[in-house]
């Protein structure tokens, strides 16, 4: 039986069924999609990699096996930081990572991860789902044949791992530090030599002295990478990444070939993952922090006020300079700032006023 | 053709298809579910009611029409505050509302909406998805034949609408105020006469003087209810509801009859709705606040520090007294407190430290 005939026959059968079985609606032979998803994360990594695997599993089950996504960690199929290219070229259909990894190609992408002294996770999600964040993101990625969705957030990160105390901005000068995105550019202005590398490479680089300092995520994930074995001074707050969003990227052509129903499944699962990942970080960070301080004798410090003030100043300079260099960056910066200002004003009488009330 | 024979025939056909069309997998005649969902919200209400409708629509499409949920606003099929009973008894399969509406039946339910001076939205979600929040909630609802899931959050609410200035706790005395849950019990200790009524009834009650004051949600929703036409003093912060969660409740037997695939669709869609609703509130509150103050001449006040301090003290007394009266309340209170204390400690070096850094 040729395919066309078979499909016709099933279709006829199901038309009969519609009359006989009011409670049943057999689906017609549905196209099955076998997709690959590559991530920028280390293999078997909790929340990040595990969350992507849960996403893929949920999508498979929700779609009744119509959309099967095979998940590969960074390096398993494609080097971690080639995720963007692999999905952009259609080598694989999906990727998971962070938009600011691609700042070299698309400076404006950085706004969709985190802006130093910018919005926290709640603000980022408000921008994405209640504002024009996703729309702008999709516009920025369209020329690269990519459809992006937010999928995950770490919450406020830690400020990073150092081998010495940071008492002033001068103590940062000359450090080679793993710090991506706009945070890295701000640090460069402070005399740091910022380096971009995937999570899986950080520990070895720090341990061997290829880098002097690093930021990664927060206690739960930093403990897993074992960074405390190579540096003992752990700083907060993560001024450079106050609520970094993770991204799901999909090759545009593959996305457009998905039936609308499967698109809704993917989008809904990505939204659910977004909330799940953030919630898991928030729930697990404190215990990990205690393990770091109690078992591994890590010392926790707050960045001195002067350092934070200076970094804030350098951030505004950096943003202005980058906007001058790139029209798309300028456009997204304007949209981000306008939304962010409104969030600040609302926060002043909601989250901030409430936090104040708690301490009276 | 009898149903069984037809199913057999389709099954045989699809086995053949498996050989011929490696890319196709026709589903067998799947059972179709036609469910009803009643809410506690006014008809055509944005975010709350619209969000539930979007949820139902997404579930229908993701399930390829296998699970059709017909949504009714409060009063359309069942009075708003009889949602719990209707779903508990299986009159309808699903409900959407807030757990603290059922405090009269289940005192412990209140923890799954909001605790005065307790966790904000981020903390509640961390407890639900990263801690044991949902597990406890399902345990508490099980004797009522209900399976609950978080689905929505308003963020930090406003403190409420009054017809006069609140300069001291004495100004609250004797007021008849619409305020549900633990917030209402705390207010009772301050001499308020707390009243529970559904959103749709508030405006008329306030306008007619049946109540003297009310809280509802925040600027975006309060503007929609038109509360500014009946009271002009609008207070913040919402000490009584710092991140109230909304609930999806499902009749237990109906839930257990759903195939696992449809259960995952429902759960995932509820998680996505949770994030969507919160994000929409956060994105829309400020504009609504401006409309209230500029167009409707509403005056915005912060509760005086003394009042907040007193209410915090009364909150701790209320929680202790309620715990003495009800073993289940006591158990959930202990779990909530323990999680909440950890969140506070983590917030101190994450969200709070970051908020401080922003203001340096």
CB-based contact A287 B357, cutoff 8 Å: no
A182-205 exposure pattern, b = at least 16 Cβ within 10 A, e = fewer: bbbbbbebbebebbebbbbbbbeb
Which chain A residues are closer than 8 Å to B308 by Cβ? 357, 360
Q: Is there a contact between B118 and A358 (Cβ–Cβ < 8 Å)?
A: no
For chain A, how long is the longest CA-to-CA vector? 80
Q: Which of B122, B264, B274 sits opposite A62 (nearest CB)?
A: B264
B91-130 exposure pattern, b = at least 16 Cβ within 10 A, e = fewer: ebbbbbbbbbbbbeebbbbbbbbbbbbbbbbbbbbbbbbb
Q: Which of B31, B156, B354 sits opposite A237 (nearest CB)?
A: B354
Q: Which of A62, A125, A215, A245 to mutate to test the interface with B (most CBs of B within 10 A)?
A: A62
The reported pLDDT for the residue numbered B30 is 80
CA distance A202 to chain B (A): 23
Q: Please give the residue of chain B at the shortest CA–CA distance from A34.
A: B23
| Strand partners for B64 | none
d(C-alpha A124, C-alpha A335), whole Å:
12
Residue A230 three-state SS: coil
Give strand ranges (E) for chain A.
33-39, 67-72, 94-97, 146-153, 160-162, 176-178, 193-195, 213-214, 233-236, 245-251, 299-302
Give the length of chain B. Answer: 360
CA distance A34 to chain B (A): 9
d(C-alpha A50, C-alpha A73), whole Å:
10
Which comes out higher in pLDDT, residue B9 or A337?
A: A337
Mean pLDDT computed over every residue of chain B: 93
d(C-alpha B27, C-alpha A26), whole Å:
6
Asked if pLDDT for residue B23 goes beyond 50, the answer is no
CB-based contact B27 A64, cutoff 8 Å: yes
CA distance B200 to chain A (A): 24
CA distance A294 to chain B (A): 15
For residues B95, A283, B278 and B34, what is the CA-based torsion angle, rounded to 10 degrees? -30
Cis peptide before A311 (omega within 30 of 0): no
d(C-alpha A127, C-alpha A268), whole Å:
17
Task: Determine how many CB atoms are found less than 10 A away from the CB of residue B9.
Answer: 13
Q: What is the pLDDT of residues B313-356, one digit of tens each?
A: 999 999 999 999 999 999 999 999 999 999 999 999 999 999 99
CA distance B238 to chain A (A): 7
Which chain A residues are closer than 8 Å to B261 by Cβ? 61-62, 64
Which chain A residues are closer than 8 Å to B281 by Cβ? 130
Q: Please give the residue of chain A at the shortest CA–CA distance from B339.
A: A283
Cβ within 8 Å of residue A79, ≥6 positions away:
A198
Which chain B residues are closer than 8 Å to A298 by Cβ? none
B293-308 exposure pattern, b = at least 16 Cβ within 10 A, e = fewer: eeeeebeeeebbeebb
d(C-alpha A197, C-alpha A214), whole Å:
10
The reported pLDDT for the residue numbered B300 is 98
Asked if pLDDT for residue B26 goes beyond 80, the answer is no
The reported pLDDT for the residue numbered A20 is 33
Which chain A residues are closer than 8 Å to B130 by Cβ? 279-284
CB-based contact B349 A264, cutoff 8 Å: no
Asked if pLDDT for residue B27 goes beyond 80, the answer is no
Q: Which of A269, A305, A360 sits opposite B309 (nearest CB)?
A: A360
Per 3-state DSSP, chain B is made up of helix, strand and coil in percentages (nearest 5) of: 55, 15, 30
The model's pTM is 0.92
CB-based contact B130 A284, cutoff 8 Å: yes
CB-based contact A62 B265, cutoff 8 Å: yes
CA distance B59 to chain A (A): 9
Query: To the nearest whole percent, how much of chain B has pLDDT over 90?
Result: 92
Q: Which of A241, A273, A279 to mutate to test the interface with B (most CBs of B within 10 A)?
A: A279
Q: Please give the residue of chain B at the shortest CA–CA distance from A18.
A: B29
d(C-alpha A120, C-alpha B347), whole Å:
12
The reported pLDDT for the residue numbered A180 is 96
| Strand partners for B36 | B70
HSE (CB half, 13 Å, CA atoms) of B219? 26
CA distance B193 to chain A (A): 23
Place of tokens 């929340």: A47
The reported pLDDT for the residue numbered B203 is 97
The H-or-E segment that residue B162 falls in is strand B160-162
Query: To the nearest whole percent, how much of chain B has pLDDT over 70?
Result: 92
Instruction: Name residues of chain A where pLDDT drops below 50.
Output: 1-26
Which chain A residues are closer than 8 Å to B280 by Cβ? 126, 129-130
- For residue B126, which of A45, A156, A43 has the smallest C-alpha distance? A156
Q: Which of B29, B265, B352 sits opposite A26 (nearest CB)?
A: B29
Q: Please give the residue of chain A at the shortest CA–CA distance from B280.
A: A130
- For residue A246, which of A222, A278, A279 has the smallest C-alpha distance? A278
The H-or-E segment that residue B220 falls in is helix B219-225
Asked if pLDDT for residue B22 goes beyond 60, the answer is no
| Cα B282 from chain centre | 15
Which comes out higher in pLDDT, residue B228 or B27?
A: B228
CB-based contact A349 B236, cutoff 8 Å: yes
d(C-alpha B340, C-alpha B86), whole Å:
32
CB-based contact A349 B61, cutoff 8 Å: no
Q: Which of B24, B30, B156 sits opposite A354 (nearest CB)?
A: B156
Which chain A residues are closer than 8 Å to B23 by Cβ? 31-32
The reported pLDDT for the residue numbered B29 is 61
> Which residue ranges form the domains of chain B, and what is each CATH number?
3-155+244-282 (3.40.190.170), 160-242+285-324 (3.40.190.10)
Residue A54 three-state SS: helix
Asked if pLDDT for residue B163 goes beyond 80, the answer is yes
CB-based contact A355 B355, cutoff 8 Å: yes
CB-based contact B29 A16, cutoff 8 Å: no
The reported pLDDT for the residue numbered B271 is 98
- For residue A149, which of A36, A272, A63, A40 has the smallest C-alpha distance? A272
**Cα-only R_g, chain B:** 23
CB-based contact A1 B20, cutoff 8 Å: yes
CB-based contact A27 B30, cutoff 8 Å: yes
The reported pLDDT for the residue numbered A30 is 79
Q: Please give the residue of chain B at the shortest CA–CA distance from A351.
A: B156
Give the length of chain A. Answer: 360
Asked if pLDDT for residue B17 goes beyond 50, the answer is no
Q: Is there a contact between B145 and B86 (Cβ–Cβ < 8 Å)?
A: no
Q: Please give the residue of chain B at the shortest CA–CA distance from A262.
A: B62
Which chain B residues are closer than 8 Å to A158 by Cβ? 349
Which chain A residues are closer than 8 Å to B10 by Cβ? 10, 13, 17, 26
The H-or-E segment that residue A277 falls in is helix A260-294
Size of interface A-B (CB pairs under 8 A): 274
């Amino acid at each position: 039986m040729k395919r066309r005939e078979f499909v016709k026959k099933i279709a006829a059968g199901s038309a009969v069924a519609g009359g006989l079985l009011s409670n049943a609606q057999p689906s017609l032979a549905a196209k099955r999609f076998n997709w690959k998803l590559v991530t920028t994360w280390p293999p078997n990594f909790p929340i990040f990699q595990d969350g992507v695997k849960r996403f893929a599993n949920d999508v498979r089950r929700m779609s009744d096996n119509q959309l099967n996504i095979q998940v590969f960690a960074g390096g398993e199929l494609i080097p971690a930081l080639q995720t963007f290219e692999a999905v952009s070229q259609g080598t694989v259909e999906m990727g998971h990572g962070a938009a600011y990894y691609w700042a070299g190609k698309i400076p404006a992408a950085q706004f969709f991860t985190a802006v130093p002294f910018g919005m926290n996770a709640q603000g980022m999600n408000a921008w994405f789902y209640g504002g024009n964040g996703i729309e702008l993101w999709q516009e920025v990625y369209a020329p690269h044949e990519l459809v992006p969705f937010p999928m995950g957030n770490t919450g406020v990160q830690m400020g990073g791992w150092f081998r010495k105390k940071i008492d002033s901005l001068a103590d940062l000068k000359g450090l080679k530090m793993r710090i991506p995105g706009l945070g890295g550019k701000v640090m460069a202005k402070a005399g740091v030599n910022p380096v971009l590398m995937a999570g899986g490479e950080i520990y070895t680089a720090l341990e061997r002295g290829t880098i002097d300092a690093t930021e990664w995520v927060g206690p739960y994930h930093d403990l897993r990478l074992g960074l405390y074995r190579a540096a003992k001074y752990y700083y907060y707050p993560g001024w450079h990444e106050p609520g970094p969003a993770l991204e799901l990227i999909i090759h545009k052509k593959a996305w457009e070939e998905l039936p609308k129903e499967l698109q809704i499944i993917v989008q809904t699962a990505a939204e659910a993952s977004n909330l799940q990942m953030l919630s898991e970080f928030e729930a697990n960070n404190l215990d990990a922090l205690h393990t770091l301080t109690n078992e591994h004798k890590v010392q926790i410090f707050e960045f001195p006020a002067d350092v934070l003030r200076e970094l804030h100043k350098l951030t505004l300079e950096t943003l202005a300079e980058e906007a001058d260099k790139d029209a798309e960056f300028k456009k997204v910066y304007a949209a981000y700032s306008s939304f962010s200002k409104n969030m600040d004003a609302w926060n002043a009488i909601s989250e901030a006023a409430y936090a104040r009330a708690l301490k009276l």
